[in-house]
């Protein structure tokens, strides 16, 4: 893949979120030399979206809620920024002929819609929305092959694996090992976890992220989703994916080759680096990300995960092996359970329990169509909404 355009026109789906804001800071640092914000999208925080549009002057902004269109239009009057509404507006922006890359950074299964539109149009997709591949990995990868779309990982672990994989041929890969910080509750017992509050779970030791993925990082469901993401993204066999706890979040993952050589990618925890790499790939450019400071002692630790205290992780391995509709069921159940935990309706340990229940009761289909996945998603959400501890 060659860098053909002098500037890459980037559409950011979810520009008001944590990944979206980091992406805009990468574009700002670039100063227009090779990256341009071409389209922005937000959801409820329309004033933030308007402020971003005033600062970056994209060609489009898009909001799914149509009632927000007149408000944004008034705010952006005279700027030449076109305001689009509804899911179809978002699709138009994504599939526009002049859109070069799409950063998919909406949270949750909702992000699948924009990713799908980008892949359908054969775009280069910088994929932060891991839920896309958890819900519909095989279908999305198949569509990408058929439409000539390229999917570049933004998730730091997958970006690391993507980079390390370049050291050898695919048949030479023995396995990939995803690192996990272990979250804020590493070392705690299940007894202690039963009582943790949303405030405690929202304090991540190494990463600043949106609330949903922060809770996922505390339950280790985030790593479960990443295991599934890795399988489909890199076309791995289930036994080729492993997880290791690494509290410093400096080594972002490993690739182990058949001869025993292990390659890693290292950098301080800062999402601007994997975002930038997916926006400038195959090139590497100067950027705003933090650097390893070799003048200070740096100790890195690795330990096996505590699978009993954090049962969400094994749900991920199980779903990765099963494929089919299992990913859609697990993902939707988790989104609903996290929302209920944040509302104070269920306890921290109930998140994995509710997911287990939704997985067990769902009607499994090994080769589902997209519509089937959406119906499994809706059923799992309803079930978790009704679930009682």
Region 283-342 residues binding ligand NAD, contact defined as CB under 6 A: none
Considering CB under 5 A, how many residues would be counted as binding Mg ion?
A: 3
Binding residue (CB under 6 A) for ligand NAD from 122, 168, 184, 210: 210
213 binds, among ligand NAD, Mg ion, none (CB under 5 to 8 A by kind): ligand NAD
What part of residues 37-56 is at the interface with Mg ion (CB under 5 A)? none
Tokens of 61: 């902004």
Count the Cβ atoms, other than its own, within 10 Å of residue 167: 12
User: CB of 207: closest distance to ligand NAD in angstroms?
Assistant: 5
Helix, strand, or coil (residue 166): helix
CB nearer ligand NAD, residue 7 or residue 95: 95
How does DSSP classify residue 143? H
Other beta carbons within 10 angstroms of residue 291's beta carbon come to 9
The C-alpha atoms of residue 51 and residue 57 are separated, in whole angstroms, by: 10
Q: Minimum Å distance from CB 13 to Mg ion?
A: 18
Tokens of 95: 């599939």
369 three-class SS: coil
**Binding partner of residue 325 among Mg ion, ligand NAD, none, CB cut-off 5 to 8 Å per kind:** none
The site map against ligand NAD for 134-173 (x = CB under 6 A) is: ---------------------x------------------
Among the residue ranges 123-131, 236-244, 315-323, 331-339, the one whose residues contact ligand NAD (CB under 6 A): 123-131
Beta bridge partners of 103: 12, 126
Least Å distance between CB 226 and Mg ion? Answer: 5
The contact mask relative to ligand NAD for 49-68 (x = CB under 6 A, - = no) is ---------------x----
Nearer to Mg ion, 41 or 156 (CB): 156
Helical ranges in 235-300 per DSSP H: 272-280
Considering only residues 18, 163, 179, 267, which one is a binding residue for ligand NAD as defined by CB under 6 A?
Answer: 18
The region of 105-113, 174-182, 253-261, 314-322 touching ligand NAD under the rule CB under 6 A is 105-113
Residue 77 burial by CB count (10 A; 0-12/13-18/19+): exposed, middle or buried?
Answer: exposed
Q: Does 209 bind ligand NAD (CB under 6 A)?
A: yes
Does residue 155 touch Mg ion according to CB under 5 A? yes
The window from 148-156, 257-265, 364-372, 380-388 that contacts Mg ion (CB under 5 A) reads 148-156
Question: Contact, 206 vs 198, CB < 8 A?
Answer: no
Strand-strand pairing, 262-266 and 251-257: antiparallel
What is d(CA 382, CA 357) in angstroms, rounded to the nearest whole number? Answer: 12
Residue 130 contact partner, candidates Mg ion, ligand NAD, none, CB within 5 to 8 A by sort of partner: ligand NAD
Taking the C-alpha atoms of residue 300 and residue 20, their distance in angstroms, rounded to an integer, is 29
Residue 23 binds which one of Mg ion, ligand NAD, none, with CB within 5 to 8 A depending on kind?
A: none
Which partner from the list Mg ion, ligand NAD, none does 111 bind, CB cut-off 5 to 8 Å by kind?
ligand NAD
DSSP string computed for 65-93: STTHHHHHHHHTTTS-PEEEEHHHHHHHH
Secondary structure class of 7 (helix, strand, coil)? coil
Least Å distance between CB 236 and ligand NAD?
19
**Interacting stretch for ligand NAD, rule CB under 6 A, among 145-153, 210-218, 248-256, 310-318?**
210-218
- Find where tokens 């925080």 sit: 45
Dihedral angle of Cα 372, 314, 388, 334, to the nearest 10 degrees = -50
The answer to the question of residue 42 lying near ligand NAD (CB under 6 A) is: yes
Supply φ then ψ for residue 297, to 5 degrees.
-60, 140
- Tokens 């339950």 belong to 219
Q: Is 131 in the site for Mg ion (CB under 5 A)?
A: no
Strand partners, 138: none
Interface residues with Mg ion (CB under 5 A)?
Answer: 155-157
Interface residues with ligand NAD (CB under 6 A)?
Answer: 14-20, 42-43, 64, 105-107, 110-111, 128-131, 155, 207, 209-210, 212-213, 271
């Amino acid at each position: 893949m060659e860098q053909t355009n002098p500037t890459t026109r980037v559409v950011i789906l979810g520009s008001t979120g944590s990944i979206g804001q980091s992406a805009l800071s990468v574009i700002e640092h670039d100063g227009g030399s090779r990256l341009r914000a071409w389209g922005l999208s937000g959801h409820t925080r329309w004033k933030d979206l308007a402020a971003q549009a005033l600062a970056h002057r994209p060609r489009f902004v898009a909001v799914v809620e149509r009632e927000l269109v007149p408000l944004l239009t008034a705010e952006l009057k005279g700027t030449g920024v076109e305001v689009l509404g509804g899911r179809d507006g978002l699709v138009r922006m994504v599939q526009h002929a002049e859109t070069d890359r799409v950063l998919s950074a909406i949270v949750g299964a909702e992000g699948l819609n924009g990713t799908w539109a980008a892949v359908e149009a054969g775009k280069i997709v910088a994929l932060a929305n891991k839920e896309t591949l958890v819900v519909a990995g095989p279908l999305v990868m198949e569509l990408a092959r058929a439409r000539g779309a390229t999917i570049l990982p933004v998730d730091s672990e997958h970006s690391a694996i993507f980079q390390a994989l370049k050291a050898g041929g695919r048949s030479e890969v023995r396995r990939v090992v995803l690192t996990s910080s272990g979250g804020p509750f590493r070392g705690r017992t299940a007894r202690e976890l039963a009582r943790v509050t949303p405030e405690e779970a929202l304090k991540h030791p190494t990463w600043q992220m949106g609330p949903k993925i922060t809770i996922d990082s505390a339950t280790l469901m985030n790593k479960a989703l990443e295991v599934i993401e890795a399988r489909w993204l890199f076309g791995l066999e289930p036994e080729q994916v492993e997880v290791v706890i690494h509290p410093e979040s400096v080594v972002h993952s490993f690739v182990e080759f058949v001869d025993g050589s292990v390659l890693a990618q290292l950098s301080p925890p800062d999402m601007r680096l994997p975002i930038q790499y997916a926006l400038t790939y195959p090139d590497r450019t100067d950027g705003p990300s933090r650097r390893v400071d070799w003048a200070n002692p740096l100790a890195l630790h690795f330990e096996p995960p505590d699978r009993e205290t954090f049962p969400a992780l094994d749900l991920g391995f199980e779903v990765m092996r099963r494929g089919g509709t299992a990913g859609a069921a697990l993902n939707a159940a988790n989104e609903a359970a996290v929302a209920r935990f944040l509302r104070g309706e269920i306890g921290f340990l109930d998140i994995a329990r509710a997911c287990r229940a939704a997985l067990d009761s769902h009607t499994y289909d090994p080769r589902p169509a997209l519509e089937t996945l959406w119906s499994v998603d809706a059923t799992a959400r309803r079930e978790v909404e009704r679930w009682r501890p």
